[in-house]
Amino acid sequence: MARLLRHVTITVAVYIGGGEESSKEKLNCVKVNGSKSFTAAKMGLLRQDHAMPMPCIGGVDEDVLEEHLRQNIPRRKQMVDPYRHGEMVEEGVGYRQTVVIRSYEVGADKTATIESLLNLLQETALNHVWMSGLLSDGFGATHGMMRNNLIWVVSRMQVQVDHFPIWGEVMEIDTWVGASGKNGMRRDWLLRSQVTGTVFIRATSTWVMMNKETRRLSKMPDEVRAEIAPWFIEKHAIEEESPEKIEKLDANARYVHSNLKPKRSDLDMNHHVNNVKYLRWMLETIPDEFLEKHQLSDMVLEYRKECGSSDVVQSLCEPQFNENIGLNGHTASSQILQGNGLLGAINQRPLSYTHLLQTKGESKNEEIVRARTTWREKKHGAKPFHS
């Protein structure tokens, strides 16, 4: 089958402003094999905010042209994206996207899985960069990052879950960025119910730059700082506290899964294992009988090393009983004051797990991720959120 672009003919006519000529959409049509398939106005091909190379220009690689035609990455800031149901907020530097929880994003209890929610966080973050006009051809990398052969890697992430969305629920996801030290960037998210306005999930993350070839961390070049600094907001989804140290587990951990191997489908565009896969490996180490009766309320992940397709991974897990913490993070004394008694305070305290993912080597093991997950008992028959 001949390539698409060999059969694309474009008649170019751009009309800006009102008047009779602005209605001449037929002049902006794109014909494929002689048949009208879509309009250039709808595809954004001829808009001034897209620096699209035109197929009629000779000497340009057809594969590149076809990729641009299919992707259509904006080269200038966009305020509204009707295709992704997204818009700029926070005076044009934050991003909000409306999503519907799909059937394939929920588990047996009809609530969204934590893996699906992490995927939504990643997607909205990338769409934010997409709308900014800063996105180059990399996985969220800016033009300056591409020129310096840099990619983003996450170093720390925290997610607090008050309620899990249910199948079919409409959610609004806000995301924004801020500074994190001299060479890092913070990205935060808020997920709320569109119907009630209730915040379901808060998340924050820290990102640093890595050289794509050497796989070593890099300082932030001045040109990259100049690109992203105007987008920084001094607002936090989760109030910053002194992070509690996550202890490193050893071979004496209670639960251990060994010989875990990444699949081809586990790799992202930067050719390392996706963060969601790390979480799945960790959660699968927790006993099923516990997961059936509990749901995640908080997790902290500290990333130490990337994992490649040839690595063999071991997942370690150790339960930790939090003596002084009760249901939903309240102290045991508050449980007593609320009339639940000492027994209620003891029975209702959540259980947390300490996790470690590491690569298994011949001479030594190397840490991939340390993590801590905190859980609460499921409320059978309870509504997914409070009115």
Residues forming the active site: 270, 272, 307
Strands (E), the chain: 8-10, 29-32, 35-39, 80-81, 86-89, 94-100, 150-161, 170-180, 184-193, 199-211, 217-218, 255-260, 294-303, 313-321, 351-359, 366-377
42: left (phi over 0), alpha (psi -120 to 50) or beta: alpha
Beta carbons of 235 and 241 less than 8 angstroms apart? no
188 bridge partner residues: 176, 204
Strands (DSSP E) contained in 6-70 are: 8-10, 29-32, 35-39
Separation CA 262–CA 276 (nearest Å): 12
- Round to whole Å and give the CA distance between 256 and 365: 14
Distance CA 116, CA 341 (A): 37
Residues contacting 345, CB < 8 A, separation 6+: 326, 332, 333, 335, 336
How far apart, in Å, are the Cα atoms of 122 and each of 75, 162, 187, 265, 326?
Answer: 21, 20, 10, 17, 31
Hey, CA dihedral for 225, 227, 232, 237, is it positive or negative?
A: negative
What are the beta bridge partners of residue 298? 160, 374
Contact 125, 86 (CB under 8 A): no
Q: Which distant-in-sequence residues (6+ apart) come within 8 Å of 300 by Cβ?
A: 156, 157, 158, 243, 246, 371, 372
Contact yes or no for 207/184 (Cβ under 8 A)? yes
Backbone CA torsion sign across 43, 45, 47, 50: positive
